[in-house]
Amino acid sequence: MPKLFSYGTLQQDNVQLATFGRLLNGHPAQLVGFKREMLEIRDAEVVRASGKTHHPIIHPSDCQQDRVAGSVFNISEQELAQADLYEVDDYRRVQALLDNGERAWVYIAA
């Protein structure tokens, strides 16, 4: 079962219901070596689902002290594909190692 690390709108109940049709159970974790900033979203459907015109986006940094807090969710392969459809082209999905030793998919700057 895939793990998905979210640091942004995929943690919101309304986005989970719109994207997956259910609420996800997760636990806190941190992604090490990344910096977070905000990105203007121009996709009307994504803005409607999230209720926000700006979403967080992360970039790798050269500093291992940089951390991004978020949640780890166990999801199905189908739900991972649904998350891919939700994310706009400014993001790409990669596997990353979290501070707790877990590997999870995460969306970073494309």
| Range 38-66 average pLDDT | 94
Q: Are the CB atoms for 41 and 52 separated by under 8 Å?
A: yes
Mean pLDDT (the chain) is 96
User: If 0-12 CB within 10 Å is exposed, 13-18 middle and 19+ buried, where does residue 81 land?
Assistant: exposed
- Distance, C-alpha 61 to centroid of its chain: 17
Q: Are the CB atoms for 54 and 40 separated by under 8 Å?
A: yes
pTM, to two decimals: 0.92
pLDDT digits (tens, 9 = 90+) for 6-39: 999 999 999 999 999 999 999 999 999 999 999 9
- Any idea what the CATH number is for the domain that residue 41 is in? 3.10.490.10
Tally the domains of the chain: 1
Query: Can you state the percent helix, strand and coil of the chain, rounding each to 5?
Result: 25, 45, 30
Q: What residues make up the domain containing 48?
A: 3-109
